[in-house]
């Protein structure tokens, strides 16, 4: 039976007709597909709008006389039932009206990233329709302790993270959520214990995030019953005890993270291998002890291993070489010892971040490390390593951050020559090595094209400030303190356009303080300050979450040297300085009046020089000055009484027999008449009022600086701080 062409054509035509017909029908009915929303639902939505004190222009579309299915952030289904409300990061303020609870067809509610306050209406948590509820990043408060559960809820995702919720884990509330897949309670103030029933009757439970709360007590062994759990995060709590053996029954786990708790015990070799799907293991900042078990090598999918700040010891297992997907290996702050060459790093070709700071490793940097061509940051500081770096380090094209400080590396010339061609290098931290060597002074270092921070402190280096430093055009921070460098500060210093942190203290530098130093662009003005907000995807370890460098002081520290001459009056040009230290030199002459022009100055140390004359009254204009030391000079006359002066202790002024003040041994007589203030009283009062207002505005910033300084006493951290700006990883 053959079909004729005629038949074929007509059947084709018929198909075309049908398609056309469907299209026509669609076209005809399309307008009515946008079915008007139900009046009751519109009222519920308007009730929500009513609860907002700041609706960020929502009212332009949310009008009573229009179809609410067309309102901003609203989606309806074909019946005109509201199914989705998505009003993310709109700056909404006010409270969430319980009226949303009467939207019986609502499936997804996402109000993340607003400033909503008050309670989360129980109606929403008990809704039998809502599947996804995200109210993260708001200012919601209250607790859920007493909420009875609704049976058979549809709820799959609950994100109440980054709010101000308190109280215990809401076990009862969650009881009816049999379909729960993800629960994110992180970054609130929940307290009490993690209940043992978390996974009971929740066969689909995949993600549990409890981090950044105040949970305490043991990790319940019953978490091991969470057979499909893939992500378990409970860092930054007060959990104690050991990792229970039963936990390792949860073999679906891919991400296990309990950093910064009070956990004890060891990493059991038998247990850990059971989690063969692990991708991220983060147990940093606990009290774990013992070795890294050999069996770690069986975790073939492992990408991140964080064991920093524990009490772990022993040698690195060579089996670590088998974790070939590792990108991040953080072992800082333990008692690991032995040679790094135990591990064959050449198999870890994905490694980006390696941090072994502050352990007891010895030997040399293993050759195999130079094959990890994707390394971005390497920190081996504070160990007992020796020898040199191989020129193969230049294979590491992405290397931005290298810290080798406080080991026993030798041959600084060779080290710098090799590293100088590492063009991407941004931070180089080498202090505490090369003891008693000479600072190389050859013009051989044409590289270092991107170096922003250089630390060669604590090396007892001899020699001068070398010319090659002048080629480091991007340098922000130069730390050369605690060496034996001599000679003058060269005039090229002011060609380093970005330099704002200079510490050359405790050397034998001599000569006058050059006027070139009074022309440092970054100390003179904030004009370039945008450039110090680095776009540097640096590994920042858990305590170091700097976002910008604004909290970092602009500093000039020339203390403990042999500088002579007078303090150049042009010093007043360095208006952005926060710290100025010229102590323990041989400076003479007067304290320049112009120091009073460095209006943001917080620390001024001129002690142990041969300065004479009066303390300039302009210094009382320094309203942020929190530390002043002019002791042990030959100053005379009265100590000013205005400004911050009443807050400084006697020790700031001692060792100046000719200084007088009501507080000092030498009281002022009429012969010591105070120098007349150089502004009229009226003018002066204006300034004080301005300063107080200004101080209130900036007070927080000042406080922040001080907190920052006291926390980061290690220079290599300071350097990290200078250059890091970005999120962790």
Residue whose CB is less far from ligand NAG, 18 or 678: 678
* C-alpha to C-alpha distances, 363 to 329, 337, 358, 378, 382, nearest whole angstrom: 19, 10, 15, 17, 13
Minimum distance from residue 136 beta carbon to ligand NAG (Å): 4
Nearest to 458 by CA among 487, 436, 438, 442: 436
Minimum distance from residue 333 beta carbon to ligand NAG (Å): 10
Minimum distance from residue 499 beta carbon to ligand NAG (Å): 22
Residue whose CB is less far from ligand NAG, 209 or 620: 209
Q: Which helix (H) or strand (E) holds 387?
A: strand 384-387
Residues that bind ligand NAG (CB under 6 A): 46, 64, 88, 110, 112, 132, 134, 136-137, 157, 159, 161-162, 182, 184, 186-187, 207, 209, 212, 221-222, 224-225, 231, 233, 246, 287, 300-301, 311, 325, 386, 397-398, 408, 410, 423-424, 572, 586, 593-594, 597, 610
Residue whose CB is less far from ligand NAG, 323 or 709: 323
Q: What are the b/e assignments for 53-92, b being 16+ CB within 10 Å?
A: eebeebeeebeeeeebbebebbebeeebbbbbbbbeebeb
Minimum distance from residue 659 beta carbon to ligand NAG (Å): 16
Q: Nearest residue to ligand NAG, using CB? A: 287
Minimum distance from residue 586 beta carbon to ligand NAG (Å): 4
Determine the distance from the C-alpha atom of residue 162 to the mean position of all C-alpha atoms in its chain, rounded to a whole number. Answer: 17
Residue whose CB is less far from ligand NAG, 495 or 537: 537
Minimum distance from residue 696 beta carbon to ligand NAG (Å): 23
Minimum distance from residue 22 beta carbon to ligand NAG (Å): 34
Residue whose CB is less far from ligand NAG, 113 or 466: 113
Residue whose CB is less far from ligand NAG, 137 or 144: 137
Minimum distance from residue 682 beta carbon to ligand NAG (Å): 20
- The whole-angstrom separation of Cα 416 and Cα 454 is 11
Minimum distance from residue 549 beta carbon to ligand NAG (Å): 19
Residue whose CB is less far from ligand NAG, 610 or 651: 610
- The whole-angstrom separation of Cα 192 and Cα 215 is 5
Residue whose CB is less far from ligand NAG, 327 or 501: 327
- The whole-angstrom separation of Cα 585 and Cα 583 is 6
* C-alpha to C-alpha distances, 335 to 146, 398, 538, nearest whole angstrom: 47, 29, 25
- The whole-angstrom separation of Cα 188 and Cα 140 is 10
Cβ contacts of residue 60 below 8 Å, gap of 6+? 72
- The whole-angstrom separation of Cα 306 and Cα 304 is 6
Collapsing DSSP states into helix, strand and coil, what is residue 281?
Answer: strand
Tell me the CA end-to-end span of the chain in Å, nearest whole number.
71
Minimum distance from residue 407 beta carbon to ligand NAG (Å): 9
Q: Which helix (H) or strand (E) holds 636?
A: strand 634-638
Residue whose CB is less far from ligand NAG, 316 or 591: 591
Residue whose CB is less far from ligand NAG, 184 or 629: 184
Nearest to 330 by CA among 354, 346, 349: 354
Instruction: Give the other-Cβ count within 10 Å of 451's Cβ.
Output: 26
Residue whose CB is less far from ligand NAG, 300 or 467: 300
| Token pair listed for 682 | 């009226």
- The whole-angstrom separation of Cα 589 and Cα 565 is 8
Phi and psi, residue 334, nearest 5°: -130, -165
């Amino acid at each position: 039976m053959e079909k004729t062409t005629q038949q074929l054509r007509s059947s084709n035509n018929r198909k075309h007709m049908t398609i056309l017909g469907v299209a026509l029908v669609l076209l005809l009915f399309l307008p009515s597909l946008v079915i008007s929303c139900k009046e009751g639902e519109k009222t519920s939505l308007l009730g929500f709008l009513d609860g907002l004190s700041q609706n960020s222009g929502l009212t332009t579309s949310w009008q009573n006389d229009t179809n609410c299915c067309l309102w901003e952030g609203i989606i309806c289904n074909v019946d005109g039932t509201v199914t989705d409300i998505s009003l993310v990061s709109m700056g909404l303020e006010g409270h969430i009206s319980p009226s949303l609870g009467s939207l019986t067809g609502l499936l997804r509610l996402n109000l993340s990233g607003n400033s909503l306050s008050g309670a989360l209406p129980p109606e929403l948590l008990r809704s039998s329709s809502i599947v996804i509820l995200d109210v993260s990043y708001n200012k919601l408060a209250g607790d859920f302790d007493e909420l009875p559960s609704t049976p058979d809820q549809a709820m799959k995702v609950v994100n109440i993270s980054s709010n101000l919720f308190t109280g215990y884990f809401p076990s009862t509330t969650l009881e009816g959520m049999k379909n729960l897949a993800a629960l994110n309670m992180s970054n609130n103030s929940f307290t009490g214990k993690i209940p043992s029933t978390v996974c009971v009757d929740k066969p689909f439970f995949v993600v549990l995030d409890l981090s950044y709360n105040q949970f305490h007590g043991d990790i319940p062994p019953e978490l091991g019953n969470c057979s499909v759990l893939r992500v378990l995060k409970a860092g930054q709590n007060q959990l104690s005890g050991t990792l229970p053996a039963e936990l390792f029954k949860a073999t679906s786990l891919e991400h296990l993270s309990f950093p910064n708790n009070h956990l004890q015990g060891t990493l059991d070799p038998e247990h850990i291998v059971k989690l063969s799907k692990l991708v991220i293991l983060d147990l940093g900042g606990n009290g774990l002890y013992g070795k890294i078990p050999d069996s770690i090598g069986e975790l073939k999918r492992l990408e991140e291993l964080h064991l920093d700040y524990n009490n772990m010891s022993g040698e690195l297992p060579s089996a670590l070489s088998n974790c070939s997907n590792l990108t991040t290996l953080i072992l800082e702050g333990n008692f690991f010892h032995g040679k790094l060459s135990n591990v064959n790093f050449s198999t870890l070709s994905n490694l980006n971040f390696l941090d072994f700071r502050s352990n007891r490793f010895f030997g040399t940097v293993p050759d195999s490390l130079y094959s990890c061509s994707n390394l971005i940051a390497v920190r081996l500081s504070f160990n007992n390593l020796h020898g040199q770096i191989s020129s193969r380090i230049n294979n590491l094209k992405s290397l931005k951050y290298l810290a080798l400080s406080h080991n026993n590396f030798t041959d600084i010339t060779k080290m710098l020559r090799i590293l100088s061609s590492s063009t991407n290098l941004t931070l180089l931290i080498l202090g505490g090595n090369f003891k008693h060597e000479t600072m190389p002074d050859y013009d051989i270092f044409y590289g270092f094209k991107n170096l922003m921070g250089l630390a060669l402190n604590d090396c007892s280096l001899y020699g001068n400030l070398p010319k090659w430093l002048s080629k480091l055009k991007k340098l922000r921070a130069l730390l050369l303190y605690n060496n034996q460098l001599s000679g003058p500060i060269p005039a090229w210093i002011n060609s380093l356009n970005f330099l704002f942190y200079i510490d050359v203290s405790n050397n034998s530098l001599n000569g006058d303080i050059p006027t070139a130093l009074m022309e440092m662009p970054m100390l003179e003005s904030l004009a370039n300050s945008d450039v110090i907000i680095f776009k540097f995807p640096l590994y920042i370890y858990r305590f170091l979450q700097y976002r910008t460098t604004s909290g970092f002081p602009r500093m000039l520290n020339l203390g403990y040297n042999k500088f002579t001459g007078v303090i150049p009056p042009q010093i007043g040009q360095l208006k952005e300085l926060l710290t100025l230290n010229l102590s323990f030199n041989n400076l003479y002459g007067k304290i320049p009046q112009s120091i009073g022009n460095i209006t943001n100055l917080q620390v001024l140390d001129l002690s142990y020089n041969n300065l004479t004359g009066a303390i300039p009254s302009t210094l009382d204009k320094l309203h942020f000055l929190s530390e002043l030391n002019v002791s042990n000079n030959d100053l005379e006359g009265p100590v000013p009484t205005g400004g911050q002066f009443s807050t400084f202790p006697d020790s700031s002024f001692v060792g100046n027999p000719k200084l007088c003040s009501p507080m000092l041994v030498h009281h002022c007589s009429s012969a010591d008449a105070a120098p007349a203030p150089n502004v009229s009283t009226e003018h002066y009062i204006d300034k004080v009022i301005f300063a107080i207002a200004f101080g209130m505005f900036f007070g927080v910033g000042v406080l922040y600086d001080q907190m920052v300084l006291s926390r980061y006493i290690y220079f290599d951290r300071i350097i990290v701080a200078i250059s890091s700006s970005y999120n962790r990883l």
